[in-house]
Amino acid sequence: MGPKGRRTGRRSPLLTGRGIAQLLALALVAEVATAATVLHPGAARPGEGSVFHLAKPYFPASTRFYTDPDNPAAQWVRGNAHDRRAAVIRKRIADQPQAAWFTDTDQGRVESQVRGVVRAARARGRLPVLVAYAIPQRDCGKHSSGGMADLSGYRDWIGGFARGIGASRAVVILEPDALAHLTCLKRRQQGQRYAALTHAGRELRKRAPHARIYYDSGNSRWLPAPVMAERLKRAGIDRYGDGIALNVSNFNATRDEVRYGLSVLRELRRPRLGAVIDTSRNGAGPTRDHRFCDPPGRRLGTPPTARTGIPGIDAYLWVKQPGQADGCAATAGLFVPGYAFGLTR
């Protein structure tokens, strides 16, 4: 993912990013039909009626997301301007909006780093996407292991992260894999993780009131929607979240993530919640065996846009920074120009 790998887990050169998004939205709207506007739960709770209406996409269609000039692809291009691949990587990846990942375990540094990104985005009239990724026992000790040592340290860390955003606008992707990976933890540790995520949501709501908070919710091939919804509730999404993030660092087709996202939203039954989908590397869909770690033959997906045309789906984002290894092609988080170039083909 961003700096890590991901458990289970084309655009035409003749079309602009907006045109692609519009075509995809039309196809998805036709495919999900009334499910995208009115969801019929199997059994309504007393007093709640028999239908559940999804909200319109939260962000205006004209929303422009922030492109960090120091993203990994941009750094590589600056240092390798004469490489034959540089021009393509710059245009197709480095110049595209993508999330900024925050993993530094030093509270003071992460607060400063976050503040720097949101200020730069605000100066350019853009909306930044920030990934908070420092939860204790991150990635269950696998490719992207790390994070804070304990719950107390995490509380301090997320406080610094939230203060860095302050009164600025931002999209926050909260702790990729944290809920989907829950069963790798012992019972006491699971309780601590729920407490960490609940505290994170509370801190962000209090200290970063204009941030839009999306709890990571795995992907369509990981957990059944009712299971994920129950975990989200225990993590505080009802009280502090604005929606869910799907497909982070994975390769599943957008249509599958839309279906899954709508199912999770139906289970949550909170009309104000929406979903964002990581489309950074899903242009060719998953491999046949759904390989999650630097699979070959993948492609860039729909460029970041809020023009989804689907109620409940707030945006397509590049949460994973294309070209960064998952942990198989190279160390997790390392930019691999050959892999990045392959994504543009």
* Buried/exposed 142-175: b ≥16 CB within 10 Å, e otherwise: bbbebbbeebeebbebbbbbbbbbbebbbbbbbb
User: Does residue 278 have an active-site annotation?
Assistant: no
State both tokens at 345. 């083909």
User: Does residue 216 have an active-site annotation?
Assistant: no
Q: How far apart are CA 83 and CA 21, in angstroms?
A: 31
For 235-286, give the DSSP string.
TTHHHH--EEEESTT----HHHHHHHHHHHHHHHT-TT-EEEEE-TTBTT--
CA angle 153, 102, 273 (to 5 degrees): 95
Maximum C-alpha span of the chain: 66
Q: Look up residue 83 and give its amino acid.
A: D
Choose, from 216, 242, 278, 326, the residue flagged as catalytic: 326
Q: Are the C-beta atoms of 294 and 311 separated by less than 8 Å?
A: no
Q: 338: number of CA atoms within 13 Å, CB side?
A: 5
Return the H-helix or E-strand segment holding 174. strand 170-174
Please count the helices (runs of H) and the strands (runs of E) in the chain. Answer: 10, 9
Q: What are phi and psi of 190, to 5 degrees?
A: -65, -45
Sequence-distant (6+) residues with CB within 8 A of 125 are 64
Q: How far apart are CA 247 and CA 241, in angstroms?
A: 18
Q: How far apart are CA 105 and CA 284, in angstroms?
A: 35
Choose, from 177, 216, 242, 256, the residue flagged as catalytic: 177
Choose, from 139, 242, 256, 314, the residue flagged as catalytic: 139
User: Does residue 326 have an active-site annotation?
Assistant: yes
Q: Are the C-beta atoms of 336 and 84 separated by less than 8 Å?
A: no
Residues with catalytic annotation? 139, 177, 326
